[in-house]
């Protein structure tokens, strides 16, 4: 009897010395030793007592059922892992965790990988890592190419947001003081990503990330060039401007006296072309500020909101048109010569007032005769039958 107890204790100590405890195997070994079935509760109680008295390890047992490594449906095991941070997690809990949460755990799996029984679990972890890293772009792209379903398109867009944000951050330095912001670059970058997904052909052998990068950069850059400036600059000219700026920064520190010549040589442009590009940059980019640029400490006010509108008020313009129509109608009730003299004297048609002498020269009449005709015409206009149509246009 003493010999059997020593063998059981040896079996238990063997498993306690591990970081991985297989309850199914320890039960089988004890049953083979004593020749009959043993209640797993007794084994668990015995293990708990041994663990409490042991200074070698700190393993927490529980009774979660686990099928991950079973060869048959009835082969259920309880497995547990102890990490260096004293966080005790069952393998069952870990195998059912979200892949990203699993990869964020600070656990040392070295001892686990040395166990022969843990090979399948190791492969599973490697599969999780692969999913976390590559997001199954290749598989999902294949599904999208076959079905063209939006669910695969949306999944690809979500899986590659880091790529879009990367180039939105890179190009955001070019939008300071412009009408577009970082969120606009994200949206446009996503359009480029969608374009890449729709046109990507896996049989070409090109990596999707490389192909998508070209489209994302192109869409973002074109958006900055089209909407980032008050005056639209052609994309090819904008690209040349950026190239020249980079070369200027490169050569100015090397040779500040001859850097322009070096820039022209590497850019393969003439000095005249260089001066032309610098003029365009100075006039339409460097010195122009977009009215939609946010200003103030909180960036909650646009520049356009602080500019006084000196344009014509639409309401006033409508009143002027209405008044002019009524004046024309009233003058039309006079005799033709009377109407013409009034129009010339008060500059109704051309805003040029004329003297009696000037009007007399036009009609070949004396100054006095023109005055008499004018007085008579004004008397008619003052009559209530005519003046009532204009009273609404005068303040009282």
Domain made up of 137-227: CATH architecture: Up-down Bundle (1.20)
Instruction: Compute CA 178 distance to the chain's CA centroid, rounded to the nearest angstrom.
Output: 16
314-393 to CATH, choices 3.40.50.720, 1.10.3720.10, 1.10.10.10, 3.30.1490.100: 1.10.10.10
Query: For residue range 87-138, what is the model confidence (pLDDT) as tens digits?
Result: 444 444 444 445 445 444 444 444 444 455 456 555 555 554 444 444 468 8
pLDDT of residue 303: 64
Q: How many CB atoms lie within 10 A of CB 14?
A: 11
Specify the pTM: 0.38
Instruction: Compute CA 278 distance to the chain's CA centroid, rounded to the nearest angstrom.
Output: 31
State yes or no: pLDDT of 355 exceeds 90.
yes
Query: For residue range 331-346, what is the model confidence (pLDDT) as tens digits?
Result: 989 999 999 999 999 9
Whether 224 and 174 have beta carbons less than 8 Å apart is answered as yes
What pLDDT band is residue 360 in, cutting at 50, 70 and 90? very high
State yes or no: pLDDT of 366 exceeds 60.
yes
d(CA 172, CA 321): 49
What pLDDT band is residue 83 in, cutting at 50, 70 and 90? very low
Neighbouring-strand partners of residue 89? 81
The two tokens of residue 12 are: 């238990």
Whether 329 and 389 have beta carbons less than 8 Å apart is answered as yes
Whether 223 and 185 have beta carbons less than 8 Å apart is answered as yes
Name the least confident of 14-23, 31-40, 102-111, 210-219: 102-111
pLDDT of residue 319: 78
Sequence ranges of the domains in the chain = 2-133, 137-227, 235-286, 314-393
Q: CB-based contacts of 290: which residues, under 8 Å, 6+ apart?
A: 177, 178, 179, 229, 230, 303
12 burial via Cβ count (<10 Å: 0-12, 13-18, 19+):
buried
The two tokens of residue 131 are: 């999913």
Same fold, 137-227 and 314-393: no
User: To the nearest whole number, what is the mean pLDDT of the chain?
Assistant: 73
d(CA 145, CA 201): 8
More confident residue, 347 or 133: 347
Report the SS3 class of residue 383.
coil
């Amino acid at each position: 009897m003493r010999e059997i107890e020593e063998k059981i204790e040896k079996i238990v100590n063997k498993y306690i010395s591990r970081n991985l405890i297989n309850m199914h195997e320890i039960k089988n070994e004890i049953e083979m030793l004593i020749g009959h079935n043993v209640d797993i509760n007794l084994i668990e109680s015995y293990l708990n007592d041994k663990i409490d008295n042991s200074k070698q390890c700190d393993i927490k047992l529980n009774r979660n059922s686990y099928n991950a490594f079973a060869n048959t449906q009835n082969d259920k095991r309880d497995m547990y892992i102890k990490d260096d941070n004293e966080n005790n997690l069952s393998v069952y809990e870990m195998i059912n965790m979200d892949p990203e949460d699993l990869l964020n755990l600070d656990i040392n799996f070295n001892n686990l990988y040395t166990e022969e029984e843990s090979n399948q679990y190791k492969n599973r972890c490697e599969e999780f890592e692969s999913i976390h890293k590559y997001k199954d772009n290749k598989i999902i792209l294949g599904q999208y190419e076959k079905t063209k379903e939006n669910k695969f398109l949306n999944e690809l867009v979500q899986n590659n947001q880091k790529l879009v944000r990367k180039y939105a951050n890179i190009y955001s330095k070019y939008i300071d003081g412009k009408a577009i912001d970082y969120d606009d670059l994200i949206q446009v970058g996503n359009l480029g990503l969608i374009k890449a997904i729709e046109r990507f052909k896996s049989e070409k052998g090109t990596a999707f990330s490389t192909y998508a990068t070209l489209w994302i950069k192109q869409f973002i850059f074109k958006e900055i060039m089209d909407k980032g400036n008050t005056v639209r600059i052609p994309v090819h000219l904008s690209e040349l401007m950026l190239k020249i700026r980079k070369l200027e920064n490169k050569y100015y520190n090397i040779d500040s006296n001859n850097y322009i010549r070096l820039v022209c040589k590497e850019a393969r442009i003439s000095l005249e072309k260089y001066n032309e590009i610098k003029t365009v940059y100075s006039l339409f980019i460097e010195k122009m500020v977009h009215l939609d640029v946010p200003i103030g400490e909180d960036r909650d006010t646009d520049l356009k909101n602080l500019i006084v509108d000196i344009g014509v008020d639409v309401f006033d313009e409508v009143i002027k048109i209405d008044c002019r129509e009524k004046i024309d109608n009233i003058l039309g009730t006079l005799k033709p010569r009377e109407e013409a003299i009034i129009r010339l004297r008060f500059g109704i048609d051309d805003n040029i007032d004329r003297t009696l002498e000037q009007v007399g020269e036009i009609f070949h009449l004396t100054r006095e005769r023109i005055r008499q005709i004018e007085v008579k015409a004004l008397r008619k206009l003052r009559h209530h039958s005519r003046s009532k149509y204009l009273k609404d246009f005068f303040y009282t």
